[in-house]
Amino acid sequence: MTQIIILGATGSVGETAYRVIQAQPDRIAVDGLVAHRQAEKLWEMGQRLHANWIGLTDREQAAELRHQHQGQSGPRIISGMDDILEAIAISPATKVIGAMSGFSGLMPTLTALENGKDILLANKETLVAAGDLVQRVALQRGRKILPVDSEHSAIFQCLALNQPFKRILLTCSGGPFRGRTKEELKTVTVEDALRHPNWSMGAKITIDSATLMNKGLEIIEAHHLFGVPYEQVEVLIHPQSIVHSLVEFVDGATMAQLGWPDMAVPVQVALSWPDRWPLAGPALDLTQQPLTFDKPDTDTFEALDLARQAGIAGGLMPTVLNAANEVAVGLFLSRSIRFLSIVEIIKDVLGAFTDNTSVVALEQILEADRWARRQAEDMAMRYRL
């Protein structure tokens, strides 16, 4: 029986993990579940999965939940990030599913690795903001980072035999605005951007999918996960989201992993690897629609090249890119700026970052993240509606 912790249990990936785990009661036991504010939902999940503890980073929500369930049997309630990190550190769990959104996933991921746990990582921002550091800690502690992001899971499966390859082809649906011009993007709304054609996901990643920043972040994620230089990672538009990514080997043979767009597969692959477990779901039917591929429009969707360039620059530049993007996406979601201003703010912040250095310590990352967030807020004043 494998004991696990789920970070971001109440989110889209967290709920998928919850479904996968409920179907595997003889294989997986849950020690802890972590979320930010959705207290009652986390409590119910904890009850159903017989978790030993649940943790809420929002202390007020944790206090309220304790009050509501005083005297009832159920998981222990942990409050605030510091106590959650302590619970992760001493947990008997050997695997941690990293499904928090954004930079908030960094500290729990590092704590898990430092304390001998493998990470099953959906939270790409952690690798974007601190990939060198996270990989170094994993290597030092002899721990694995298993991808849960569907594209990286596909690549991971294609590379199972560790054979030499020429390039990685990351597939990308193109998001809700595929084929639109910049002019047409000037007036799109939050609702338009949240209407992803194939995937149902949290708000932040859905907006990233509309700007194509999501694919940009995934280029950096692939660089860190597979130790591959940036010039060997390409993006291929594939609107049907059936081919989850491809690897071209040195002899030209190209392998891909296919399936319906459902995160249950990559979550379960990461949990079961190197074994495979049965999973209920409709069989893939390739006769239903043609599979098409195209080049991305990097002039309209500038985020893709911005992320690649930040990755190539290395050091703290990806940390700054990630923080600026998180702030700009938040401002767009709160209807404070227009869609196209997201990329303009990121460009402004990256342009103002003149102190790039290689990363030796966590404090550098935390400081660069704080700096970029402040800058993004300041620069956004020009774009506010």
Ligand X SMILES: NC(=O)c1ccc[n+]([C@@H]2O[C@H](COP(=O)([O-])OP(=O)(O)OC[C@H]3O[C@@H](n4cnc5c(N)ncnc54)[C@H](OP(=O)(O)O)[C@@H]3O)[C@@H](O)[C@H]2O)c1
The contact set with ligand X (CB under 6 A) reads: 8-14, 35-38, 57, 99-101, 104, 122-125, 149, 199, 201-202, 204-205, 263
Nearer CB in complex with ligand X: 42/320: 42
* Least distance CB 355 / ligand X (angstroms): 26
When the beta carbons of 211 and 348 are compared against ligand X, the nearer one is: 211
How far apart CA 144 and CA 151 sit, in angstroms, is 18
Specify the length of the chain in residues.
385
Looking at beta carbons only, is 149 or 248 nearer to ligand X?
A: 149
> Considering beta carbons, is residue 14 or 32 the nearer one to ligand X?
14
Q: How far is the CB of 218 from ligand X (least distance, A)?
A: 9
Smallest separation (angstroms) from ligand X to the CB of 287: 26
Residue nearest to ligand X (CB): 11
C-alpha 339/C-alpha 331 separation (Å) is 10
**Closest separation between CB of residue 199 and ligand X, Å?**
5
Q: Which is nearer to ligand X, 28 or 122 (CB)?
A: 122
CB of 65 to ligand X, least distance (A): 11
Name the minimum Å distance from CB 369 to ligand X: 13
Comparison of 125 and 302: residue with beta carbon closer to ligand X: 125
CB of 285 to ligand X, least distance (A): 22
Taking the least distance from each CB to ligand X, the nearer of 36 and 95 is 36
